[in-house]
């Protein structure tokens, strides 16, 4: 019997596996963007301190480095492996596809990351203990290494959205995948906004040190951070416009018609707020206060980074990698250069349940007795990456999406006409045999008739097991 290379499914009721990854990833993005932006800002400030002989700037740099060690390089080092773990169990085929295509790229990123972490400790503990010129060289090496990790990761993230052209499907060349149409605007946008994030943290630290350094040094630091921050916001917006112009057509449709306004508005608001804050502190450096800058940094997390990452993930749908693998881990198209064949025809012919080795034997052959549980299994396999398939709350819940639909035939008609024959651009095509789709319809109707919420547990009816024997 044919079996496709599926893995056991990690289903997280209510919130979903995608939301679990999103929380970990957003914390990691905040930590990493702070560290990358700060590495360049601090190297610039160190250059200024060295050339202008302003030793008090080193005191500020020392305090900032301590903050990086505590936040970015502790939480970042925890959430980084956390992303790997959660993404691997949530979408193992997607991660596998990315690793097979970018194995040496990821290896290079780890080399730079190890160098970055090593250097930040060296910088902190050698500041004031070695000559300033040598320390400055280390600072710029740290900045280059830190930015190099972003340079590499953005190529992989952009490929997850789209290769940007058909060339990669026929060549399979890693450079065709990495330097895709979306790469440079994405890289420059992130690079710009990270200066705004790091600058906000820098103003908070400057506010704490106001009495510890001279007024002249304090004002110079605040003005430097403010100018870099304003530049980051302005250039970030310019590169964002370029980024939007490189989106594939389906992502344009999703951005205009699917992404809710409550995700867009906070981003606009926080950009204006951060820009206004930098402008005020540039004009009047004495306005830099910890109790203003630090809460603003927290707001950047909730109003900027989280909704932005959520929107970016939404724009990628229905794919998880290179426009050939859907979010439900089904290969959707051929990739001749890699010897990859679309799995859709085989699944439509033989069924999703029969081709998955981890589906219980008692659910592979549908009967009236196991139809509901088989339908729930189809829902978990095909839909749980983006939906709560067993409840009415949480991540795009079935209980709300199918509210009032207690007739299996009505559900079947909707599924076949809307999701199979004319599926929206942000959702994978509903695949499987007609029998499986009817089982899915029966499960949804049964769940709605029970109030829109059922147990996430999948049980094989005894009669099905006995029939199998």
What are the residues facing 290 on neighbouring strands?
none
3-state SS, residue 421: coil
Output the six-digit token pair for 186: 């994405």
pLDDT beneath 70, residues of the chain? 1, 463-469
Output the six-digit token pair for 465: 């097991």
**Which of 277, 295, 326 is at the close of a domain?**
326
Is residue 268 located within the same domain as residue 414?
no
Residue 333 in any domain: the answer is no
Is residue 318 located within the same domain as residue 349?
no
> Residue 180: which domain range?
16-326
Is residue 127 located within the same domain as residue 220?
yes
What are the residues facing 4 on neighbouring strands?
356
CATH number for the domain harbouring residue 365 = 1.10.760
Distance between CA atoms of residues 156 and 187, nearest Å: 11
Is residue 249 located within the same domain as residue 204?
yes
Residue 2 in any domain: the answer is no
Name residues whose C-beta falls within 8 Å of residue 424's C-beta, 6 or more positions apart in sequence. 258, 418
Place of tokens 């005894």: 462
Residue 294 in any domain: the answer is yes
The alpha carbon of residue 21 and the mean position of all alpha carbons in its chain are separated, in whole angstroms, by 8
Distance between CA atoms of residues 231 and 241, nearest Å: 16
**Which of 296, 326, 356 is at the close of a domain?**
326
pLDDT, residue 465, reads 47
Residue 44 in any domain: the answer is yes
3-state SS, residue 425: coil
Distance between CA atoms of residues 78 and 34, nearest Å: 15
Residue 339 in any domain: the answer is no
Output the six-digit token pair for 170: 């026929």
Burial (CB count within 10 angstroms: exposed 0-12, middle 13-18, buried 19+), residue 19: middle
Distance between CA atoms of residues 323 and 321, nearest Å: 6
Output the six-digit token pair for 208: 């704490």
Is residue 310 located within the same domain as residue 353?
no
Distance between CA atoms of residues 234 and 230, nearest Å: 6
Is residue 276 located within the same domain as residue 359?
no
Residue 380 in any domain: the answer is yes
Nearest to 437 by CA among 464, 451, 418, 465: 418
**Which of 279, 295, 326 is at the close of a domain?**
326
Q: How many domains does the chain have?
A: 2
Is residue 364 located within the same domain as residue 320?
no
pTM score of the predicted model: 0.92
Place of tokens 């051929």: 334
Is residue 42 located within the same domain as residue 79?
yes
Distance between CA atoms of residues 303 and 305, nearest Å: 7
Is residue 280 located within the same domain as residue 411?
no
Residue 334 in any domain: the answer is no
Residue 10 in any domain: the answer is no
DSSP-H helix ranges across 173-323:
174-178, 183-208, 215-245, 249-257, 261-283, 290-299, 306-316
Is residue 139 located within the same domain as residue 282?
yes
Distance between CA atoms of residues 284 and 276, nearest Å: 12
Q: Give the length of the chain.
A: 469
Is residue 159 located within the same domain as residue 25?
yes
Is residue 164 located within the same domain as residue 311?
yes
């Amino acid at each position: 019997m044919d079996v496709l290379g599926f893995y056991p499914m990690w289903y997280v009721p209510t919130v979903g596996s995608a939301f679990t990854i999103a929380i970990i990833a957003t914390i990691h993005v905040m930590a990493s963007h702070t560290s990358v932006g700060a590495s360049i800002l601090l190297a610039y400030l160190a250059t200024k301190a060295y050339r202008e002989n302003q030793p008090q700037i080193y005191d500020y740099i020392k305090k900032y480095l301590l903050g990086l060690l505590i936040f970015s390089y502790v939480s970042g080092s925890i959430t980084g492996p956390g992303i790997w773990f959660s993404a691997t169990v949530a979408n193992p085929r997607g991660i596998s596809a990315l690793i097979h295509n970018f194995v040496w790229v990821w290896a290079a990123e780890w080399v730079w990351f190890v160098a970055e972490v090593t250097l930040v400790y060296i910088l902190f503990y050698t500041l004031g203990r070695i000559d300033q010129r040598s320390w400055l060289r280390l600072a710029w090496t740290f900045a280059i290494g830190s930015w190099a990790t972003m340079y590499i990761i953005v190529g992989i993230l952009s490929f997850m959205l789209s290769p940007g052209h058909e060339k990669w499907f026929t060549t399979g060349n890693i450079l065709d995948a990495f330097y895709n149409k979306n790469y440079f605007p994405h890289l420059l946008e992130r690079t710009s906004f990270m200066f705004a994030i790091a600058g906000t943290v820098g103003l908070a630290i400057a506010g704490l040190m106001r009495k510890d350094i001279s007024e002249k040094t304090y004002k110079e630091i605040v003005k430097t951070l403010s100018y870099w921050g304003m530049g980051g916001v302005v250039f970030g917006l310019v590169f964002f416009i370029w980024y939007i112009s490189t989106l594939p057509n389906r992502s344009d449709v999703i951005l205009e018609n699917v992404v809710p306004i409550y995700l867009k508005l906070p981003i606009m608001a926080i950009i204006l707020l951060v820009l206004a804050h930098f402008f005020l502190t540039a004009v009047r450096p004495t306005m830099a206060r910890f109790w203003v800058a630090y809460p603003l940094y927290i707001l950047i997390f909730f109003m900027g980074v989280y909704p932005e990452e959520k929107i970016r993930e939404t724009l990628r749908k229905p794919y998880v990698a290179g426009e050939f693998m859907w979010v439900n881990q089904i290969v959707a198209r051929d990739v001749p250069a890699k010897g990859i064949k679309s799995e859709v025809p085989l699944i439509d012919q033989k069924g999703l349940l029969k081709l998955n080795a981890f589906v219980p034997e008692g659910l592979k052959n549908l009967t009236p007795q196991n139809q509901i549980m088989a339908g729930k299994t189809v829902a978990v396999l095909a839909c749980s990456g983006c939906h709560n398939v067993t409840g009415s709350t949480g991540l795009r819940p079935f209980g709300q999406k199918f509210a009032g639909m207690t007739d299996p035939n009505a559900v079947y008609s909707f599924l076949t006409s809307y999701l199979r024959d004319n599926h929206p651009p942000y959702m994978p095509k509903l695949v499987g045999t007609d029998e499986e789709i009817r089982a899915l319809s029966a499960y949804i109707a049964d769940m709605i008739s029970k109030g829109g919420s059922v147990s996430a547990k999948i049980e094989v009816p005894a009669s099905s097991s006995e029939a199998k024997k």
